[in-house]
Amino acid sequence: MAIYEVESWKVKPGREHEHEVAMRNWLAWVKEHRDLFPEWKSLRYVTKYIAGDETERHVMMWEYASLAAFEEYKARRKDYEGPYKEYKKVDPYYMDVFDHTSMNVEIWKPQDRDIWIE
């Protein structure tokens, strides 16, 4: 059963442009190195638009085939060794563009997917 890792954050005040550039560079790097992320079934990036206090919250959602696939990826990338050393260099998380106090990470499990409308 697929699961979703959902991470959200607000941009550090005054770092909006740097954040946008960092996100675009990171996504391009990931796309070029897709072989490093075989467990990722999909990746979505959105910004909450009309959401009260949550407006302008950035949201990234990774889809994994299973919880085991999620855990396998996290274990392999854990210490940013090997090719993941380069990944860490382009990861916006380490570029002082996120308000780290606003970050949330959740794991979502699909519910009643057989009745979803797709």
All residues at 6 or more sequence positions from 9 whose CB lies less than 8 Å from its CB, including other chains: 57, 58, 98, 99, 100, 102, 103, 104
Which residues of the chain, if any, have pLDDT below 70?
A: none
Amino acid 58 reads H
- What is the rounded distance in angstroms from the CA atom of residue 25 to the CA atom of residue 115? 37
What local confidence, expressed as pLDDT, does residue 37 receive?
97
pLDDT score at 118: 85
Helix (H) / strand (E) element for 47: namely strand 40-47
Helix (H/G/I), strand (E/B), else coil: 19: helix
| Residue corresponding to tokens 């794991």 | 107
What pLDDT, on the 0 to 100 scale, is given for residue 29? Answer: 97
3-111: which CATH topology? Alpha-Beta Plaits (3.30.70)
Vertex 61, ends 56 and 65: CA angle to 5°?
A: 175
- pLDDT attached to residue 17: 98
Q: Structure pTM?
A: 0.90
pLDDT of residue 51: 87
Instruction: Give the separation between CA 27 and CA 44, rounded to whole angstroms.
Output: 10
> Could you give the angle at the alpha carbon of 88 between the alpha carbons of 37 and 68, nearest 5°?
35
